[in-house]
Copies of this chain bind each other. A is one copy, B any other.
Amino acid sequence: MTKNEMQIQFTAVSENEAFARIAVAAFVTPLNPTLEEIADIKTAVSEAVTNAIIHGYDGMTGKEQNQVYIHCLLNRDVLQVEVIDEGKGIEDVEKAMEPMYTTKPDMDRSGMGFAFMEAFMDELEVISEPGQGTTVLMSKKLGTLPFIDREE
C-alpha cells in the first residue's frame, strides 16, 4: 500500500499528549522507519500538541469541548502531519516562530517548540489567525523507500 491515512481527535488536556505522539509513531511503524526518525516525529508532534493545549486553549472555558485534531497522511515514504486546534490563534506567526520567543516565560517554556518542529521535520507551515485557531502542517520524508518497493 502506497497511501495510508488516519485522523485522531481528543480532549485538549495534557494527559493526552503522550497518547497523541504514540499514535502517530504507531501509524508510521509499518513503514519500518529508523528509531531516530520515530524520535524526531514524536518530538515534533509533542511540541505541536502541547502548544495547542497550553497556548491555543489557554484560558478558554468549556474544557471538555476543547478538541485537538491530528491528520496524518502517508504518501509512499512521505509523512504529512497536521495538528489543528480551534483555540485563540496567533497574532504574529512569524514572531511566534522565532527561536526563544515565548509568551509564557513564567511557565518555564523555552520558546523552542517551533524551532524543534523545524529541526526534526523537513517542512513546517503554520497557519493561524486570531480567534480562528491554529493549523500546524509538517512533513517528513522517511528513508524507507527500499522497504516500500520491496513490498509492492
Contact = CB atoms under 8 A, between A and B. Distances in A.
Contacts of A19: 6, 23, 26-27, 29-30
Given A23-B23, A64-B3, A18 B29 contact: yes
Contacts of A6: 8-11, 16, 19
A1 to B, nearest CB: 6
Interface string A81-108: 0000000000000000000000000000
Nearest to A4: B11
A144 interface: no
A58 interface: no
A15 interface: yes
Nearest to A70: B8
A46 B150 CA distance: 26
A22 interface: yes
B22 A1 contact: no
A7 interface: yes
B10 A10 contact: no
A124 interface: no
A23 B8 contact: yes
Contacts of A8: 6-9, 23
**Those 10 A-B pairs whose CB atoms lie nearest each other, nearest first:** A6-B10, A22-B26, A15-B30, A23-B23, A19-B26, A8-B8, A7-B9, A19-B27, A5-B11, A4-B11
